[in-house]
């Protein structure tokens, strides 16, 4: 079974709505980290170009990736600079520390 890691960097307001919608596509976990940064459209007039965003990381089976990306994009999209980015990465191995065994989410 192929495993992927979906990473999204989006506005903080996306987290609560995304959390409520993940169950509908059978995804039951995510990691959220507060981050600061800037991308293609930094605020050049501000003293600090970086803005507050959140980084969401979700491990998911490959067949669920497209549904997850659609969900994130639908929730995060407000059609302005700073909506965010989504990346999908292959996971070579995944272990559960508690059982000390290789597992799938």
What per-residue confidence (pLDDT) applies to 103?
80
Domain that holds residue 50: 3-102
User: Rounded to a whole number, what is the distance in angstroms from the first to the last CA of the chain?
Assistant: 11
pTM over 0.75: yes
Q: Give the pLDDT of residue 78.
A: 82
* List of the chain residues with pLDDT < 70: 42, 105
Phi, psi at 28, each rounded to 5°: -125, 30
H/E stretch holding 93: none
82: left (phi over 0), alpha (psi -120 to 50) or beta: left
What pLDDT shows up at residue 22? 94
Q: What is the pLDDT of residue 20?
A: 93
Predicted confidence at residue 68, as pLDDT, reads: 97
Neighbours of 36 (CB within 10 A): 10
Residue 70's pLDDT is 96
> Residue 93 maps to which CATH number?
3.30.70.120
- Amino acid 100: pLDDT: 86
Give me the number of domains the chain comprises.
1
């Amino acid at each position: 079974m192929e495993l992927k890691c979906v990473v999204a960097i989006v506005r903080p307001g996306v987290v609560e709505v995304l959390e409520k919608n993940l169950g509908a596509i059978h995804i039951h976990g995510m990691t959220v980290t507060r981050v600061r940064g800037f991308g293609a459209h930094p605020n050049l007039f501000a003293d600090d170009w970086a803005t507050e965003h959140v980084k969401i990381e979700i491990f998911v089976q490959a067949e669920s990736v497209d549904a997850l990306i659609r969900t994130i994009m639908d929730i995060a999209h407000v059609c302005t600079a700073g909506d965010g980015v989504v990346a999908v990465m292959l996971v070579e191995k995944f272990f559960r520390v508690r059982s000390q065994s290789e597992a799938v989410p």
